[in-house]
């Protein structure tokens, strides 16, 4: 299985990172996409992606950090794309996006930095890892304007409705689902059935969003099989099919080895 969105480089895992990664592979993990959040975290993301051929990196600034990270800092960070020691391991731009729910950074700063990430994805041809919360209209508008039909990616931890999912599909975006789908099955099951397995990738967003009944615990990539099991239950299919199809979706989107 593939965890398409993890933050194992963050301080939540400082005490036992190697053990967490060992459990990832033991649980059937095939690849791990380690998602960068800010310039301060990049050295550890970089180290992880160079330490194991199954770990890939993304490069970007989370909307929550866009109040303290300026355009020049982003330019410096994106310089890693020119570094031959790490650039082959970078499979996406992000995580980027807009979050009007938490409101940790001014909206205009978030939009400015999001525009710059979409432009970088367009220029490099790399997919985009997008965080959208209470901001779907602006996210979709900026993807259309700045992406110019040339940017693909994933709306991770998808929290939109059917109409947003349809617009994402028209833009060529996949939808990432994690532990949150286990919190409210009555809402998640029909949405997942509408979307269909071909548009879905699995993720943990660890250390956040642990699946039920571990919701209050630290999440980790070894929980991906629990998420796959929930998807299988909602769609009335077996877990192997969920694994096969969602792995294939992730491999295609991120250009991972088959």
Name the site residues for Zn ion (rule: CB under 5 A). Answer: 95, 131, 205
- 98: which strand partners? 132
| Minimum CB distance to Zn ion, residue 224 (Å) | 15
* Nearest CB to Zn ion, comparing residues 131 and 136: 131
* Nearest CB to Zn ion, comparing residues 83 and 103: 103
| Minimum CB distance to Zn ion, residue 167 (Å) | 19
* Nearest CB to Zn ion, comparing residues 36 and 246: 36
CA atoms of 212 and 179, how far apart (whole Å): 7
- Tell me the HSE value of 229 on the side-chain side, using a 13 A CA sphere: 8
Instruction: Residue 60: name the closest of 39, 79, 44 by CA.
Output: 39
* Nearest CB to Zn ion, comparing residues 205 and 243: 205
* Nearest CB to Zn ion, comparing residues 205 and 247: 205
DSSP tag of 210: P
| Minimum CB distance to Zn ion, residue 91 (Å) | 15
CA atoms of 2 and 30, how far apart (whole Å): 6
80: CB partners within 8 A, 6+ apart: 42, 46, 59, 86, 87, 90
| Minimum CB distance to Zn ion, residue 133 (Å) | 8
Which residue, judged by CB position, is nearest to Zn ion in the bound state? 131
CA atoms of 33 and 250, how far apart (whole Å): 10
| Minimum CB distance to Zn ion, residue 219 (Å) | 11
């Amino acid at each position: 299985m593939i965890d398409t969105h993890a933050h194992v480089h963050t301080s939540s895992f400082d005490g036992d990172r190697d053990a967490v990664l060992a459990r990832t592979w033991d649980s059937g993990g095939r690849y791990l996409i380690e998602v960068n959040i800010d310039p301060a975290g990049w050295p550890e993301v970089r180290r992880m992606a160079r330490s194991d051929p199954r770990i890939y990196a993304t490069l970007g600034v989370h909307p929550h950090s866009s109040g303290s990270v300026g355009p020049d800092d982003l330019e410096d960070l994106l310089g890693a794309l020119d570094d031959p020691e790490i650039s082959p391991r970078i499979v996406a731009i992000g995580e980027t996006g807009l979050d009007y729910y938490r409101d940790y950074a001014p909206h205009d700063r978030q939009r400015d930095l999001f525009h710059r990430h979409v432009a970088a994805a367009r220029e490099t041809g790399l997919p985009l890892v997008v965080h959208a919360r209470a901001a779907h209209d602006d996210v979709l508008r900026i993807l259309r304007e700045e992406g110019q039909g040339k940017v693909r990616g994933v709306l991770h931890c998808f929290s939109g409705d059917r109409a947003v999912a349809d617009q994402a599909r028209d833009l060529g975006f996949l939808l990432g689902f994690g532990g949150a789908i286990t919190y409210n099955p009555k809402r998640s099951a029909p949405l997942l059935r509408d979307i269909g397995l071909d548009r879905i990738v699995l993720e943990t967003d660890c250390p956040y969003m642990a699946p039920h009944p571990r919701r209050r615990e630290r999440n980790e990539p070894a929980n991906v099989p629990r998420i796959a099991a929930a998807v299988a239950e909602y769609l009335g299919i077996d877990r192997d099919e969920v694994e096969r199809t969602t792995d294939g979706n992730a491999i295609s989107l991120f250009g991972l080895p088959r």
